[in-house]
Amino acid sequence: MGLFHTGGCKDSCCLKVQNVSVKIGDDQVLQDINLHVHCGQMVALIGPNGAGKSTLLKALLGQREYDGNIMFSVPGAHRVKARIGYVPQSPTFDPGDPLSVADLFACCLSKRPAFLGLNKPLRELVMQCLKRVHGEDLIDKRVGTLSGGELQRVLLALALEPIPNILILDEPLSGVDIEGMTNLMDMLDEIRKNFDLSILMTTHDFSMLPKYADRVVLIDHKVLIQGQPEDVLNSDEFRTAFHMKEGC
């Protein structure tokens, strides 16, 4: 099943996940998940390890079979496919690997073999992409030597070409230091405003949520609670899911 503009959500566009269930072998990994991400919103998907967060993102990306409906709605539009940008959980690169940021973009954006180097128009396109994440200075760095925050910015720049309707990020803050986290969240905030796109991200860094997320969805195979960040973070469901005692 694809993600289509279908019309429907009355006055605004949104990503609608309706009764989505996923079974892997005999395990019911997701059960009747319902959530909406309205255009321009940042929604955080949280839950303990093994809760099914990455599985839900894979279903949205069409990489995992599911029951239920996943739709992208735009008022008045009919069956236009939504463009999704995806930033996977940080891959690791060998520090000795000669692959540069420019090479990585060449592999992803062009059919030209990376060993031929970037021609001028492609290098300009890469610069334009990196500019969106304030990362022009990273173009000739080796990917394996980037810090966690720099690598996330490069992967983000790749996911933004071409500009998607929805940006999906799986644990973008893991492996990023505290200063890098704030920088990355500020950047995501700037990007969603500049390009009017929706962001759905998974994270374990709850301290960032009140400032940056419009909504938080807590899952543990099913939706336990969703709403404003403060309401979810102060809920019994949150404390129970993360085995916290009252007052923590």
CA distance 51 to 128: 37
Q: Which does 52 bind (CB under 5 to 8 A by kind): ligand ADP, Mg ion, none?
A: ligand ADP
Q: Which residue is nearest to Mg ion (CB)?
A: 54
Q: Which is nearer to Mg ion, 54 or 165 (CB)?
A: 54
Q: Which does 244 bind (CB under 5 to 8 A by kind): Mg ion, ligand ADP, none?
A: none
Q: Which is nearer to ligand ADP, 145 or 174 (CB)?
A: 174
* Least distance (Å) between residue 244 CB and ligand ADP: 18
Which residue carries 């998940």 as its tokens?
Answer: 33
Q: Which does 16 bind (CB under 5 to 8 A by kind): ligand ADP, Mg ion, none?
A: none
Q: Which is nearer to Mg ion, 74 or 169 (CB)?
A: 169
Residues near Mg ion (CB under 5 A) are 53-54
* Least distance (Å) between residue 56 CB and Mg ion: 9
* Least distance (Å) between residue 76 CB and ligand ADP: 35
Q: Which is nearer to Mg ion, 58 or 132 (CB)?
A: 58
* Least distance (Å) between residue 88 CB and Mg ion: 10
DSSP assignment of the chain: ---EE---STTS-EEEEEEEEEEETTEEEEEEEEEEEETT-EEEEE-STTSSHHHHHHHHTTSS--EEEEEEE-TT--SEEPPEEEE-S-----TT---BHHHHHHHHH-SS-GGG---HHHHHHHHHHHHTTT-GGGTTSBGGG--HHHHHHHHHHHHTSSPPSEEEEESTTTT--HHHHHHHHHHHHHHHHHHT-EEEEE-S-GGGHHHH-SEEEEEESEEEEEESHHHHHTSHHHHHHTTPPTT-
Q: Which does 55 bind (CB under 5 to 8 A by kind): Mg ion, ligand ADP, none?
A: ligand ADP
Query: How crowded is residue 225: how many other Cβ atoms within 10 Å of its Cβ?
Result: 15
* Least distance (Å) between residue 115 CB and ligand ADP: 33
Q: Which is nearer to Mg ion, 29 or 154 (CB)?
A: 29
Which backbone phi and psi does 88 adopt, to 5 degrees? -70, 165
Q: Which is nearer to ligand ADP, 52 or 172 (CB)?
A: 52
Kindly report the length of the chain: 248
Residues near ligand ADP (CB under 6 A) are 24, 29, 47, 49-55
* Least distance (Å) between residue 142 CB and ligand ADP: 29
Q: Which does 135 bind (CB under 5 to 8 A by kind): ligand ADP, Mg ion, none?
A: none
Q: Which is nearer to ligand ADP, 161 or 205 (CB)?
A: 205
Tell how far CA 197 is from the center of its chain. Answer: 11
* Least distance (Å) between residue 96 CB and Mg ion: 28
